[in-house]
Amino acid sequence: MAEAERIIGTPDTPDDGGEHTAAAGAPAGTGAGGQGATAARTGRGRRIAVLFAVAAFAYALDLVSKMLVVSRLEGHTPIQVVGDLLELHAIRNPGAAFGFGAAFTVIFTLIAAAVIVVIIRLARKLYSFPWAVALGLLLGGALGNLTDRIFRAPGVFEGEVVDFIAPKGFAVFNLADSAIVCGGILIVLLSFRGLDPDGTVHKD
């Protein structure tokens, strides 16, 4: 969490600049400094809105898909989508994404909860639209699987995740896993480009 704070934080935020301008004699919210601070707060608010909108969309899509799978596919013959290359096959997964680590269900539950807390905490310093999308995907995916961990059998924090997307020769996964992977890939690409969550660009 400390490392995440270091990456996303900046020593001097636009809010600080607005406060210094007001202290210099101009009323808060007036002049170039006040306008700059207001614009910065508006920009940050929009990025936060994007983050939670993406998270809500990913979470809702995952939740609805799992409800349909449980009611219409679980206990039935798998449905072939693209021949034998891709089928819909409902299973219950006690492990992490793609079925790994079945013996550590509680640990993965705690990790998912920690990821959600960190993302929400760091959102207040978010100024980058691409980072807002990436973090929104991570948040929505983590919430989707965490919901299964809490509310599904065999018990609270030990619930098994509903997986149903089964490519040939690959592990079975769900839309929450896909959102997490897409968000992670986007974060890697943004990091390679030197774009920080606060909107600044750096070169190593």
Which tokens hold the place of 139? 């948040």
Is 163 an annotated catalytic residue? yes
How far apart, in whole angstroms, are the C-alpha atoms of residue 76 and residue 74?
A: 5
Are the CB atoms for 137 and 176 separated by under 8 Å?
Answer: no
pLDDT of residue 42: 80
pLDDT band, residue 23 (cuts 50/70/90): very low
Which of these is catalytic: 148, 177, 196, 198? 177
**Which position among 62, 148, 163, 198 bears the catalytic label?**
163
pTM of the model: 0.77
- The answer to whether residues 81 and 195 touch, using CB atoms and an 8 Å cutoff, is no
Q: Encode pLDDT of 166-194 as tens digits.
A: 999 998 999 999 999 999 999 999 999 99
Task: Tell me if residue 196 is catalytic.
Answer: no
Whether residue 117 is predicted with pLDDT greater than 50 in this model: the reply is: yes
